[in-house]
Amino acid sequence: MLPRFRHLSILAALPLLALILFHGPLRAAEDDFGLLVMAHGGSPEWNASVHAAVAPLSKAFRVEVAFGMADADSLQEAVATLEARGARRIGVIRLFIDGASFRQRTEEILGLRPGAAPREDDFQPPAHSMATYRIASTASFALVPDGLNVAPEVDRVIFDRARALSESPESETLVLIAHGAGDPASNARLEALMIDRARLAEQELGLRRVVALTLAEDWEALRAVQERAVRATVAAASDGDGTAIVVPFRLSGFGPYHDILAGLDFHADGTGLLPHPAIGAWLRRQVDELAEASFRYPDHPE
């Protein structure tokens, strides 16, 4: 059987909710503060979902988005644009599931820790590799450390996704699926955090069970094992009178899950964590944290 997709009524309320969430005292754009939002990047639709989430912040701040997994070229362009717009202090929000993702690499590229040399005039990145060099900047920087996997705002996203798909919660299993990493310890940690993020949905809706799985999408051998586990979990949840509700624990879209779950019966809406006003609320909270952060200048060797 094929999955059934539904539209979320929450989308209709996004404009009003955005106004509510972003109303209030914010740092004026006339000062020296700029905001750099980093995100993985993907299809035009994927990127558009990030821009839509960030857009309300642009009403109060200088904001640039740098797509790519801490790509120096993208970061250099975004930082240079912010500086040209008058930013001298740049706060960095990494819109990633895991706050550890690319953090060290980002700090090296920004010159906040050693490890990346300045770009040479004849620099050419290796084939099929992201550019890595220390960007040129006279600004000071501060980074927000956390990712979405520890964000209480995500609890509401999972709750709303599950509620919109639920019909008989006592017989339903909520299955969260994430990209995952290449080592079991990292995957186990992420799965535990995903379960934490789903507690609100489990308790308030009275779901039969919540399961969190990682796919290890970029590691072929482990991915094959994880795909079998994902299929087995969804199939078991749909046995008898049971129903599997599949929610992707990824920033945008449904990823490769259509293909992986082909032929199985489950409910899904094909939507990741975006769009949802709670992600906008998380972004605003990161800005508030940056207001209290210590900004550091890159170390420039002689």
Structure tokens at 141: 């920087």
Structure tokens at 37: 């939002």
Ramachandran area for residue 61 (φ above 0: left; ψ -120 to 50: alpha; else beta): beta
Query: CATH: 3.40.50, 1.10.3470, 3.40.470, 1.10.287. Which one for 152-271?
Result: 3.40.50
Model confidence at 121, pLDDT cuts 50, 70, 90, reads low
Q: Is the pLDDT of residue 3 over 80?
A: no
Task: Encode pLDDT of 236-294 as tens digits.
Answer: 999 888 999 999 999 999 999 999 999 999 999 999 999 999 999 999 999 999 988 99
Pick from 44, 108, 46, 53: nearest CA to 75:
108
98: three-class secondary structure by DSSP: coil
- What is the rounded CA–CA span in Å between residue 250 and residue 134? 29
pLDDT of residue 28: 45
pLDDT of residue 25: 40
- Give, in order, the Cα–Cα distances in Å from 167 to each of 11, 36, 242, 244: 20, 41, 11, 11
Question: Does this chain's domain 12-145+278-291 share its CATH topology with 152-271?
Answer: yes
What is the average pLDDT across 207-224?
93
pLDDT of residue 231: 96
Mean model confidence pLDDT for the chain = 88
Task: Encode pLDDT of 22-38 as tens digits.
Answer: 444 444 445 899 999 99
- What is the rounded CA–CA span in Å between residue 94 and residue 41? 12
pLDDT of residue 299: 78
pLDDT of residue 21: 44
Q: E strand or H helix at 178, and its extent?
A: strand 172-178
- Most confident region among 110-124, 152-166, 207-221 by mean pLDDT: 152-166
Q: Is the pLDDT of residue 131 over 50?
A: yes
Phi–psi pair at 134, nearest 5 degrees: -80, 125
pLDDT of residue 240: 86
Higher pLDDT residue, 302 or 189?
189
Q: Is the pLDDT of residue 113 over 80?
A: yes
Which residues in 54-168 belong to E strands, given as ranges?
Answer: 62-67, 89-94, 140-143
pLDDT of residue 119: 83
Q: Which residues pair with 296 in a beta bridge?
A: 141
- Amino acid at residue number 229: A
CB 99 within 8 A of CB 146: yes
- What is the rounded CA–CA span in Å between residue 166 and residue 158? 12
Residues of the chain with pLDDT > 90, as a percent, come to: 76
Q: What's the CA dihedral at 154, 160, 163, 169 to 10 degrees?
A: 10
CATH topology of domain 12-145+278-291: Rossmann fold (3.40.50)
Domain extent listing, the chain: 12-145+278-291, 152-271
Neighbours of 248 (CB within 10 A): 24
pLDDT of residue 120: 75
